[in-house]
Chain A
Amino acid sequence: MSIDTVAVAEVSPEHSQPFAELGLKPDEYQQIRDILQRRPTSSELAMYSVMWSEHCSYKSSKVHLRQFGEKAPKTDALLVGIGENAGVVDIGAGWAVTFKVESHNHPSYVEPYQGAATGIGGIVRDIMSMGARPLAVMDPLRFGPADAPDTGRVLPGIVAGIGGYGNCLGLPNIGGEIVFDASYSGNPLVNALCVGAMKHEDIHLASAKGVGNLVVLYGARTGGDGIGGVSVLASETFADGGPTKRPSVQVGDPFMEKLLIEATLEVLQAGLVEGIQDLGGAGISCATSELASNGEGGMHVWLDRVLLRDETLSPEEILMSESQERMCAIVRPERLAEFMERCAKWDVEAVVIGEVNASGRLTVDWHGDRIVDVPPRTVAHDGPVYERPFHRPTWMDALQADTPDHLERPTTGPELRETLLVMVAAPNLASKSWVTSQYDRYVQGNTVLSQPEDAGMIRIDEATGLGVAIATDCNGRFTKLDPYAGAQLALAEAYRNVAASGATPLAVTNCLNFGSPEDPEVMWQFAEATRGLADGCLQLGTPVTGGNVSFYNQTGATAILPTPVVGVLGVIGDVATRTSMAWTDAGDHIYLLGDTNDEFGGSEWANHVHGHLGGLPPRVDLDRERALGEVLVTGSQSGFLVAAHDVSDGGVAQALVEMSLRAGTGATVTVPTTLDPFVFMFAESAGRAVVVVRPLDTGQLIDLCEQNGVPLAQIGVVLTASNLDFADLFTVSLDDLRREHERTLPELFG
């Protein structure tokens, strides 16, 4: 086996290299040659190719993502901003919170269980790498049609994988989304969110500082996982036959990850770590180059010291392996022994693979031969940047002109009743408990709200009750009809969900799932959605702290619905004041906050009943969202909101059904005289919530709404009886509603 060293590269400039197979464009390859003033070694080529990939370098999205920083609202709450493994937000009392959502879409299609499991594993390590203890996970998911055979293969596996990994880590699952749409056939979306907390002084960054400090790789051994592409290089260096077979799928080991969490928290707590980085995509290449690039000097790595699961791995493969459950720490030499002891206590293997130096270079040796010698910034941060062309799709006009106005609407009481029963059983609106009951929501004993509530809420500080709430949302149909408004509607909905729980929205994370950036029409959707989200965050005063971009989500030439999943994090001083969506006492008054308009573009009714998508999404007014949020949070803190639930998919009718099923008691509902009953029940106008107050407190609610300019109308009264009465129209029993609402997923997925 011959090794391609720097010395060899210097004297063999003509040697032809398989850069195209590794996904590099000719000009990118030339750029590498210019940086190095020679041809790259095969190991260097491996590093650059993976670090300059779309996934790691954000080369197509960078120019758009900049807006999140440029338009960021001024706030002291942001302790660590975009660019680190995850953003960190100050929530008071010396506590900081870090949260982030990431995609694992493609691997989850290939192997649903392991793909989804390793998606959870990856995001958890991101949170750990900030110095935080991971506290909870969430899982926004998208699938093809609920009754499609492939959905029957993919969904149960993905759900089992998320549960299998998250449950075993001891992280409660406090929420997520499940949405079905034909555009996700062959391209399901698995986004995973993790939230963690730490004291301010425990915040750690991924930087290799301090000449002489050691680079320690710990956790699972390195195997040949996820290195399909680079085997091209490995086969070059083998005399004949190529390397032994490499796995195309990464398999997660949640038990190892659990040990990794405990060991990491111990070494952080003991002050043994100067810098820390998780190993995810691009493995050691990414970890070492980012650590070195963020540090002030250079780094040297003895690659042959890496503990291997498979001894046949070539250095290129080791550099690029995406084996799971590994972390990298920068440790002062005098603390190394203690670091190793703590790892051993948790049965976690650790080995020194490198040292921080002042060379300004990242150098890697393999059994004494120099195989990498590069300026680390050029690998990690100064990759190519594309200004991809984009233009508004020609079909947008026709799509927006095809409004839902012509669709046949139910009008009579019996028709409306029938529509309601059909809607509550629609896969997108049906109960998701077949899924969520496979997730542990209790572990750690700090879960205050979880499914089916609007937001997940966890207690962070037992002494004071300080906690956070998180919701994720995105209606891809809205985004398709208008990407700018659609992204803002996603933001508005998540914001509203958090406010409805009683927490003050503070910060945003996002996972931008789109088709191919090489398609100018997709790129336009991306540009518009990004602009909408950045503008929206500025207007709401909630900065984006981090996120993730997933491109190339398409089957053939057809892209998925543009799906910018937005996660909003809110803080609540005392979780005991949170608002649930369940009403309690008969006689309490039910109010609808916000204005209802005849808005059905992209609605679930148009989608489920008529298979129609066209027109414009509901109008978004973020000032009104903010005012609504103010009412929800203040009302919750003042203690007079008995229950609150945001209105979104399925409209007011769906919200009322969810509230009554949660409570187990019904209500009598009166349609405001100004509204058509159908519009009242099913329109999806933004900026609305249903709230419940005791009769004595209605004055307080009315005053609060007046102060904030939020319109309100009483729409009902809570009953002891178990039916939902739409006065003068129809009545329906909770038993019927529950049966329809709960049967869909079990019937489909058993």
Chain B
Amino acid sequence: MSVRVGVVTFPGSLDDRDAARAVRIAGGEAVALWHGDDDLKQVDAVILPGGFSYGDYLRCGAIARFAPVMHSLIERANTGMPLLGICNGFQILCESHLLPGALTRNDSLHFMCRDQRLRIENTSSAWTSDFISGQEIVIPLKNGEGGYVADDRTLDALEAEGRVVARYLDVNPNGSRRDIAGITNERGNVVGLMPHPEHAVESLTGPTTDGIGFFTSVLKSFVSL
């Protein structure tokens, strides 16, 4: 039986169909979840996709945090269900306090779309186990508010506990503290990532196919159980 990965659609979600496609390409079953419905349809893992939920009008992810689906998600995440937030999804995870810190306006003050080199630094999270530690990958990055900030104590703790999942290489595109591109919670099941692995799963449409590892990681974690 294939692993069921839910992809939540909020009003204003944009990369939801892309995330579902990535799940399928990786060999999983993508299940559409609706923001207004707290039923998680027996999924094994969930992705909060990129986009501009609620127009990102107040603060990115601030309004989405209060959606009915988030109640069930927070509950399940706290009991270990794998949850990946990409871009806007990362912002929602921070706003929901599932992950520490916050994402702020890019220091360039511009929206930035580029093919970004990253180093995978944590290969024990539910979403990165299929990478080799230190592996360098290139996947698209596209955001206007992707600067990761947290106080120094939090940053130190993240680094000490190996919870920085990926770091920017070459250029820091948005002013993220300590070049952080993605982080995980203590348990390793919740991951937030600013760049977009779901746009690097087919050689035809992505700069590489390096992004597929995030999706195969979570699928394999169930097979190996």
Contacts and interface: CB of A to CB of B under 8 A. Distances in A.
Classify A-B as touching or not with yes or no (CB < 8 A): yes
B95 interface: no
A254 B112 contact: no
A531 interface: no
B15 A443 contact: yes
A376 to B, nearest CB: 36
Interface string A411-447: 0000000000000000000000000111111111111
Interface in A246-273: 253-256, 258-259
B11 A346 contact: yes
A256 B12 CA distance: 9
Contacts of B55: 168, 253-256, 258
Interface stretch (B77-85, B124-132, B180-188, B196-204): B196-204
Nearest to A254: B55
Given A163-B111, A347-B11, A442 B52 contact: no
A168 B12 CA distance: 8
B113 interface: yes
Contacts of A170: 14-15, 51
A444 B18 contact: yes
A164 B110 CA distance: 10
Interface string A561-590: 000000000000001100000000000000
Nearest to A458: B205
Contacts of A436: 113
B17 interface: yes
Contacts of A346: 11
Interface string B82-121: 0000000000000000000000000000111110000000
A385 to B, nearest CB: 43
A442 B11 contact: no
B4 interface: no
Nearest to B196: A442
B110 A255 contact: no
A459 B21 CA distance: 14
Given A167-B111, A346-B11, A440-B113, A255 B205 contact: no
Contacts of A256: 55
Interface in B109-166: 110-114, 140, 142, 144
A160 interface: yes
B140 A442 contact: yes
Contacts of B205: 442, 445-448, 459
Contacts of B140: 442
Contacts of A445: 15, 17-18, 21, 198-199, 202, 205
Contacts of A462: 21
Contact of A438 (B14, B56, B113, B198): B113
A446 B205 CA distance: 6
A443 B52 CA distance: 12
A169 B202 CA distance: 23
A448 B12 CA distance: 24
A354 B53 CA distance: 33
Contacts of B57: 255
B167 to A, nearest CB: 21
Contacts of A168: 12, 14, 52, 55-56
A443 B111 contact: no
Contacts of B199: 442-443, 445
Contact of A442 (B17, B56, B142): B142
Interface string A134-178: 000000000000000000000000001001100111100000000
Contacts of B15: 170, 443, 445
B113 A437 contact: yes
Contact of B112 (A253, A438, A444): A438
Contacts of B110: 160, 437-438
Nearest to B144: A167
A255 B54 contact: yes
A194 to B, nearest CB: 16
Contacts of B196: 442
B113 A441 contact: yes
Q: Which of A255, A256, A462, A576 has the largest count of B CB atoms less than 10 A from its CB?
A: A255
A163 B21 CA distance: 25
B111 to A, nearest CB: 5
A447 B196 CA distance: 15
A169 B14 CA distance: 7
A442 B113 contact: yes
Given A168-B55, A442-B142, A576-B204, A437 B114 contact: yes
A254 B196 CA distance: 22
Contacts of B202: 445
Given A164-B111, A447-B205, A259 B11 contact: yes
Contact of A448 (B51, B111, B113, B204): B204
A255 B11 CA distance: 8
Nearest to A446: B205
Contacts of B18: 443-445
Contacts of A254: 52, 55
B52 A255 contact: yes
Nearest to B54: A255
A540 to B, nearest CB: 29
Contacts of B51: 170
Nearest to A576: B204
B87 to A, nearest CB: 10
A502 to B, nearest CB: 13
B98 to A, nearest CB: 24
Nearest to A445: B18
Given A440-B113, A442-B113, A444-B17, A575 B142 contact: no
Contact of A439 (B11, B17, B56, B113): B113
Nearest to A253: B55
B112 A437 contact: yes
Contacts of B12: 168, 255, 258-259
Contacts of A576: 204
B37 to A, nearest CB: 11
A457 to B, nearest CB: 10
Nearest to B36: A345
Most interface-central of B15, B144, B202, B204 (chain A CB within 10 A): B204
A350 to B, nearest CB: 16
Given A442-B113, A576-B204, 14 more contacts: A168-B12, A170-B51, A255-B52, A258-B14, A437-B110, A437-B113, A438-B112, A440-B142, A442-B140, A443-B14, A445-B199, A445-B205, A447-B205, A459-B204
Interface of A: 160, 163-164, 167-170, 253-256, 258-259, 346-347, 436-448, 459, 462, 575-576
23 contacts: A168-B56, A169-B14, A254-B55, A255-B55, A256-B55, A258-B11, A259-B12, A346-B11, A438-B110, A438-B111, A443-B14, A443-B50, A443-B199, A444-B14, A444-B17, A445-B15, A445-B17, A445-B18, A445-B21, A445-B199, A445-B202, A447-B205, A448-B204
Interface of B: 11-12, 14-15, 17-18, 21, 50-52, 54-57, 110-114, 140, 142, 144, 196, 198-199, 202, 204-206
